[in-house]
Structure 1
């Protein structure tokens, strides 16, 4: 038990370490919070707690992204208010209609959480609706409730306005350059560490380099993906960023993770083989450094083992990056810059086929059932203070049991820190002695800094959001200092109620293990890749082919990032087979990266209109058809855990391997397919 507590304390401490851009982002949130507080107190706007919390939800990748996020949030809020009014007016405020509306709205929100590319808007809509419809359960006059609901729009509008203004003054101006710098820092750290291993440096020499890699790994890919999303949303010049930047960032983050694990478990080495491999890894990282253009083409070492070592996993992650198509300044003059970053305007709002997916419907039903049960319970016992149970369901409801357990644990921890320690502590020890707005600003600024800094981490960022939410809920009951301890108690009980209900529904009634969700996501990726390979059979116009290919490319890029995120929560699964699940999750991530490299080697050659002959050449078309069929078989094998069917027919005629025009494309296709086949074969034998 002591070892477990020590391990968690060490991980939390590591997650709180400074990372590039963390301080500036935290200070911007603090400034926006203080400005919002001053305006809300001066204008005496209700729902101050929700307004201040929304500052943490606004994207701050760039001024334009903040503005877009703010507009979307206000639209979702306005729709929530309109929906609540419609329910009350059309049903004459019938109690049963309110209960049914909670069930229906949370079901629809659950569908769009999984089926749309802006899932946060769906959860915001459901969260605000449940907050507003609960007001009609009280004996408050209708005109007062209407005014209060409209005030909520003003409060959140004011909060997001302050947040956007701060971002326009202090936000990132050159995201492409900053993203290049983020990539350079990581490759340089990897090169330094593995160079030290290569020359047999002492543990004292290696330790600082390993710590640096560990800190960068702890930062994860969030900051880099945010910068990428800024480029996408604003359709900015991508500069010298390589093609397939989104998936390269996920690959780099995975490489940092396994390299950090290797560094933490290998203080030093005198093994000649490890030194040789470390030297080769250092050379590759130096070649991949974004400041070196074009990159030197080298072969990486790939070892497919059933029980790979950490160094094997480093080689595998690095091989996925090296296997991506090479992009140089010469290529950039030919290839469309959209190969680097796909503008968001080309990404559909709804994910094709997701609304009708059985997994989406089941998830929405589970979410709706939990929210409805909590809503009925707190109204049946006439205890409005535990209404946080409904919001807990909407905020923590995710699609796998591991992810749900993680969010629930983090929400409980964040609520204990923010609500009980900070909120209750301020109520008892600080508010009775505070008699000016200055002292309140200092308190809010301090708590906002702690919450924002915590929320900027990778593993425990959700705790930071819940610290802010719980503190604001407890500390801002009105425009005067709270004098009762009951609100903190009630809200914590509401969270515990949601924990119990969701544990029953998600973990006992309809359980979905995280590894199972990862297998389904990988299978979906593989099917989309096979759809891409068959695309030109149905789309004869190149413009339509590009349009459909871009949709598939966006979905595959997001899927591989999602699979990697799911892999981080497998440790929150319970049971004796957890270690086996963790090992399987690593294999799924490796397989996903391998399949992504296969996809991009196809995509880079087939995307440009100048390479139209790659699409129409009969032998290449037949090769892609065979690849598509076999990838579909792989998808079935991944889900059903069955061996791959034996095949003896080659996927392409040997004469094309050395063809002056098509040889490189064919050789890459065969190599990436064979690697994927081995990865899927190994995975089909796991739990």
Structure 2
């Protein structure tokens, strides 16, 4: 039985990995841009004989490609972070007179701060970049080389990364997308058209062959995920572009659409022969809803939906539930294309996530990362084996906040290291480098590796494997300016990775475990608390600008958390144990609850930007309704974490029947109460899950 289960898991991973490599919109263009930036960087670094080439080449993959503006901003911030890391390194060495104990303590402190930054800011890459660079340069002082050469090496590292970032930014400015709004509109239309065709075939009792043909496009689009669409969304936000006729809350809508595609593809692949009048009727309704969503408009078809969260058992139930969540978003056509509602620029987001710095789970995460990095640093120096220093790097680049995600990223790190370091790296050293006598052959080889790494990194599920393929290959292939002639460095680096995997498994999974569903519960509770804070926020005040700034910060946090919950939902597959199936079921329920919470938030948020609805902010009965809702939603948030049964509240506890039936405020009030009742139902189900 165990062997059968293991074989099935391996087969499933192979199938998913192959699906992940299939072409998706924009993937080829992005991969070719990375290859071009890599080749330019390689030629410049070899010409100027710059050290630490492997880090510079890897940084090309880390520069944001959502837009040229984002590339420039992330590149500049990364270089500033690197400069701070080098300044801290030199400060530690100078102030402590290069004391070994001071170096060990500095690793512990810096990695702790890096972990806190990853967990508590809206720019987590800054923390990981700072920790990665600091641990790399401070480790050089263990080599007993002259201080002058070590200081120059640190400064050369900054120059190396500047060349890499400059090349990547230049390529993005030359070849980046120019009209992302139209591309995003086209992508969402393609997805709704595929859904409409598939469910129409089911509604018309199509043959198994017709159903399979209709499911295939939906399956491919589901595999593509939201990465490409979110990149287009970020381009619109960062460059403050015309949003066309995109609807309010586009980021949340993209997450919902991707969820509909995932569940629809699963339904289609598992139901190629089932047929009944009820199935045809339900599929016809879904097809009609998707058909109405194809144009860039927001149909008002809420009244046709009958939805009970506790009845979502089958895949078709879940399709209807996901559509229900999408269709209950704001439906004011006058707000289409409003840039303030479609996409919020990153510059409006606060650096620190409100309330995240002092949370116990943030501190715990920083301590765990610090413990792992310090243990690896002490071990490789204690055994005097500098070749396994990759252990510390592995800790920094694989650290996440839950055991399921840790296992996923460690597995991907190992997989990428095998492909990039052992197969490609050792293969190139032993078979190709001895016969290469020109820079042309080197450029062709590096371009090939960069392309397959970039292509893999463009996938929705296994993208981290592509990053590690590139990093591991560069680590093995670029020891200095000459072709490597020994296999021992590759062996040592792989052993360092294995040491880190062992240490992180022991700390994160045995000493201090945090399951993925636990983190998801905390994330969902955070969304609910954010909604409660927002409901208390929208009251009459003289400074409308301050209100909008605070509301935008909360809106950004809701959107990012829902996207993160969907990502963590995929990580639950890497949890193991007797309760694995219950964990998977709970994660699905948490995700669906978060989508419903998102619709409740956006039904409230849209009122702020509607000039015609300003009286909704001053009506005393509505203010009292929002105040009471905030109290109950705070209770739901606490119950989600503690798994306590919520106290159900009837609609008349919030508003008098006169307001619910009022021609001006009735629709807003009924929609608000309906979304809250759905949240209550979901919270009741979650109270009985793990």
Q: Is the shorter-chain TM-score for this pair beyond 0.5, marking a shared fold?
A: yes
- Show the counterpart of 2:325: 320
1:467-521 Cα deviation digits (max 9, x unpaired): 0000000011111111111111111111111111111111111110000110011
Give the direction of change, closer, same or farther, for the CA distance of 1:443–1:131 in structure 2 (3 Å limit).
Answer: same
Q: How many Å apart are 1:296 and its aligned residue?
A: 5.2
C-alpha distance in 2, partners of 1:385/1:180?
50
Please give the residue correspondences for 1:557-596 in structure 2 after superposition, counting only pairs within 5 Å.
557-596=559-598
C-alpha distance in 1, partners of 2:9/2:412?
16
User: Does 2:671 match 1:658?
Assistant: no
- Show the counterpart of 2:501: 499
Q: How many Å apart are 1:435 and its aligned residue?
A: 0.8
Q: How many Å apart are 1:302 and its aligned residue?
A: 2.3
- Show the counterpart of 2:466: 464
Please give the residue correspondences for 1:251-650 in structure 2 after superposition, counting only pairs within 5 Å.
251-289=256-294, 291-293=295-297, 295=299, 297-298=301-302, 299-305=304-310, 308-328=313-333, 330-332=334-336, 337-536=339-538, 541-608=543-610, 610-647=612-649, 650=653
- From 126, 133, 136, the counterpart of 2:131: 126
C-alpha distance in 2, partners of 1:317/1:149?
52
Q: How many Å apart are 1:236 and its aligned residue?
A: 1.5
Q: How many Å apart are 1:419 and its aligned residue?
A: 0.3
- From 203, 208, 212, the counterpart of 1:207: 212
C-alpha distance in 1, partners of 2:137/2:7?
45
Please give the residue correspondences for 1:224-239 in structure 2 after superposition, counting only pairs within 5 Å.
224-239=229-244
Give the direction of change, closer, same or farther, for the CA distance of 1:215–1:332 in structure 2 (3 Å limit).
Answer: closer
- Show the counterpart of 2:3: none
For the aligned residue pairs, the C-alpha RMSD in angstroms reads 1.5
- From 90, 96, 104, the counterpart of 2:109: 104
C-alpha distance in 1, partners of 2:467/2:493?
16
Give the direction of change, closer, same or farther, for the CA distance of 1:332–1:183 in structure 2 (3 Å limit).
Answer: closer
Q: How many Å apart are 1:606 and its aligned residue?
A: 3.5
- Show the counterpart of 2:182: 177
Q: How many Å apart are 1:593 and its aligned residue?
A: 0.4
Q: How many Å apart are 1:239 and its aligned residue?
A: 1.1
Kept after mapping to 2: 8 A contact 1:427/1:482: yes
- Show the counterpart of 2:689: 686
C-alpha distance in 1, partners of 2:228/2:564?
15
1:318-368 Cα deviation digits (max 9, x unpaired): 11100001142x3359xx531111122211111111111111001000000
Q: How many Å apart are 1:135 and its aligned residue?
A: 0.7
Q: How many Å apart are 1:604 and its aligned residue?
A: 1.1
1:33-70 Cα deviation digits (max 9, x unpaired): 11111111111111111111111111112211111121
- Show the counterpart of 2:172: 167
C-alpha distance in 1, partners of 2:541/2:404?
40
1:606-632 Cα deviation digits (max 9, x unpaired): 444553321221111111111111111
C-alpha distance in 1, partners of 2:626/2:161?
52
User: Does 2:13 match 1:8?
Assistant: yes
Q: Secondary structure at the match of 2:614?
A: helix
Kept after mapping to 2: 8 A contact 1:251/1:321: yes
- Show the counterpart of 1:17: 22
Structure 2, unaligned stretches of length 5 or more?
A: 1-5
Between 640-649 and 555-564, the greater mean CA deviation after superposition: 640-649
C-alpha distance in 1, partners of 2:19/2:579?
27
Kept after mapping to 2: 8 A contact 1:300/1:318: no
Kept after mapping to 2: 8 A contact 1:300/1:322: no
C-alpha distance in 1, partners of 2:126/2:217?
36
TM-score of the superposition, structure 1-length normalised?
0.97
Q: How many Å apart are 1:129 and its aligned residue?
A: 0.4
Q: How many Å apart are 1:89 and its aligned residue?
A: 1.1
Kept after mapping to 2: 8 A contact 1:406/1:572: yes
1:642-674 Cα deviation digits (max 9, x unpaired): 111244552111101221221111111111111
TM-score of the superposition, structure 2-length normalised?
0.97
Q: How many Å apart are 1:539 and its aligned residue?
A: 5.3
- From 662, 666, 670, the counterpart of 1:667: 670
- From 30, 51, 54, the counterpart of 1:49: 54
1:100-136 Cα deviation digits (max 9, x unpaired): 0000100111111011111101100110000000011
Kept after mapping to 2: 8 A contact 1:605/1:665: no
Give the direction of change, closer, same or farther, for the CA distance of 1:241–1:332 in structure 2 (3 Å limit).
Answer: closer
Q: Secondary structure at the match of 2:310?
A: coil
C-alpha distance in 1, partners of 2:144/2:685?
63
- Show the counterpart of 2:149: 144
Kept after mapping to 2: 8 A contact 1:200/1:268: no
Q: Secondary structure at the match of 2:653?
A: coil
Kept after mapping to 2: 8 A contact 1:200/1:269: no
Q: How many Å apart are 1:301 and its aligned residue?
A: 4.3
C-alpha distance in 2, partners of 1:277/1:567?
27
1:428-458 Cα deviation digits (max 9, x unpaired): 1111111111111111111111111110001
Give the direction of change, closer, same or farther, for the CA distance of 1:646–1:664 in structure 2 (3 Å limit).
Answer: closer
Q: Secondary structure at the match of 1:675?
A: helix
Q: Secondary structure at the match of 2:275?
A: coil
Q: How many Å apart are 1:230 and its aligned residue?
A: 1.4
Q: Secondary structure at the match of 1:603?
A: helix
Q: How many Å apart are 1:544 and its aligned residue?
A: 2.0
Q: How many Å apart are 1:181 and its aligned residue?
A: 1.3
C-alpha distance in 2, partners of 1:414/1:337?
40
Kept after mapping to 1: 8 A contact 2:68/2:172: yes
C-alpha distance in 2, partners of 1:622/1:521?
27
C-alpha distance in 2, partners of 1:332/1:316?
24
